Amino acid sequence: MMHSTLSGVRAGRHAGCMGLFLLALWLTGAAAGGARAAAPTPEVEIAGDVQPGALIRGRTAPGNRVRMNGRPLSLDDEGYFIFGLGRDASGAVRLEVTAPDGASQTHSLAIRPRAYDVQRIDGLPQGKVTPDQAALDRIAREQKSIDAARARRSDTKGYRAQFLWPVKGRISGVYGSQRILNGVAKNPHAGLDIAAPIGTPILAPAAGHVVLAAADLYYSGNTVIVDHGLGLSSTLIHMSRMSVAVGDRVQAGDKLGEVGMTGRATGPHLHWGINWLDQRLDPQLLLEE
């Protein structure tokens, strides 16, 4: 359990809808500004271990506004909101909650540092496979359609639930790991790899709306993106078969497709990524332990 060190708040367990409340903050201090002494200070509850890769869930009164590091967050009709922390997030998150009457309070949540598996491999023979211009053009086109899919918003509330394993199997790649080859840092691994035989069903980890179901993308092969709401989405790739189409609504546990090794994959596995807006999150942190 993670407790806040903020003054004027109390940490505790919350019995709310999400089941996972590692940290709950009730903000009870005085309103900012003496002139507003009579105005009630906006309350907010926060749940989640504040560390890189995490999804943090919160709730405040509907009608309040919430900013995270200056960025306005979307709230649902019951005042739930979420935000995510990318791989290299550090320092603290500044959360500002403002009531309709203007009463406002700012909280600083310290980000717990996190280490990743980084492998340095030197002395490799030089020379690598670089995609030719036609492939580069194709990759750029595909990335545009992926970005457009992730930008779609639907009214799903999948973000509220604990996530399920989409496939049970051996974890063959973890979030955040990175290779440094001959001194050149490669892109960190942005998801979770689960090895499983070809044809193993891939299940929706949470409810949502299918916003992309694209065959044979250059890197990711058969690719499905499920929007879970409020900017949170799952990307599931390398499928041998897809069972859904754009526009489908899915519940947690519904079949999305089957494990494969389409695209650039060296063996059959599911690569599962989670995005919150422009941040890539660690799927393992959204799963029940």
105 φ, ψ (degrees, to nearest 5):
-145, 145
As measured in angstroms, the least distance from the Cβ of 190 to Zn ion is 8
Rule CB under 5 A: choose which of 16, 79, 173, 263 binds Zn ion.
Answer: 173
Rule CB under 5 A: choose which of 271, 275, 283, 286 binds Zn ion.
Answer: 271
13 φ, ψ (degrees, to nearest 5):
-100, 140
As measured in angstroms, the least distance from the Cβ of 272 to Zn ion is 8
Query: Is 25 or 192 the residue whose CB approaches Zn ion more closely?
Result: 192
As measured in angstroms, the least distance from the Cβ of 252 to Zn ion is 22
As measured in angstroms, the least distance from the Cβ of 282 to Zn ion is 12
* DSSP single-letter state for residue 19: S
Query: Is 153 or 168 the residue whose CB approaches Zn ion more closely?
Result: 168
Query: Is 193 or 227 the residue whose CB approaches Zn ion more closely?
Result: 193
Query: Is 42 or 166 the residue whose CB approaches Zn ion more closely?
Result: 166
Query: Is 271 or 280 the residue whose CB approaches Zn ion more closely?
Result: 271
Query: Is 57 or 269 the residue whose CB approaches Zn ion more closely?
Result: 269
> Please, what sign has the CA dihedral across residues 17, 69, 285, 189?
positive
As a whole number of angstroms, the distance between CA 240 and CA 262 comes to: 6
Show the binding pattern over residues 67-106: x = contacts Zn ion (CB under 5 A), - = does not.
Answer: ----------------------------------------
As measured in angstroms, the least distance from the Cβ of 169 to Zn ion is 13
As a whole number of angstroms, the distance between CA 55 and CA 39 comes to: 31
- Residue 129's contacts (CB-CB under 8 Å, 6 or more residues apart) are none
Show the binding pattern over residues 185-224: x = contacts Zn ion (CB under 5 A), - = does not.
Answer: --------x-------------------------------
Residue among 281, 234, 289 at smallest CA distance from 50 = 281
For 152, other C-beta atoms within 10 Å of its C-beta total 13
Contact positions with Zn ion (CB under 5 A) in 116-155: none
Output the six-digit token pair for 114.
Answer: 């996190």
- Residue 61's contacts (CB-CB under 8 Å, 6 or more residues apart) are 42, 43, 79, 99
Query: Is 192 or 213 the residue whose CB approaches Zn ion more closely?
Result: 192
Size of the site for Zn ion (CB under 5 A): 3
Query: Is 80 or 272 the residue whose CB approaches Zn ion more closely?
Result: 272
- Binding segment toward Zn ion, per CB under 5 A, in 45-53, 150-158, 226-234, 263-271: 263-271
As measured in angstroms, the least distance from the Cβ of 189 to Zn ion is 6
As measured in angstroms, the least distance from the Cβ of 142 to Zn ion is 17
Residue among 63, 113, 59 at smallest CA distance from 85 = 113
Tokens 């999150």 appear where? 281
CB 90 within 8 A of CB 69: no
Residue among 243, 209, 232 at smallest CA distance from 83 = 232
Distance of CA 183 to the CA centre of its chain: 29
Q: By the criterion CB under 5 A, which residues form the site for Zn ion?
A: 173, 193, 271
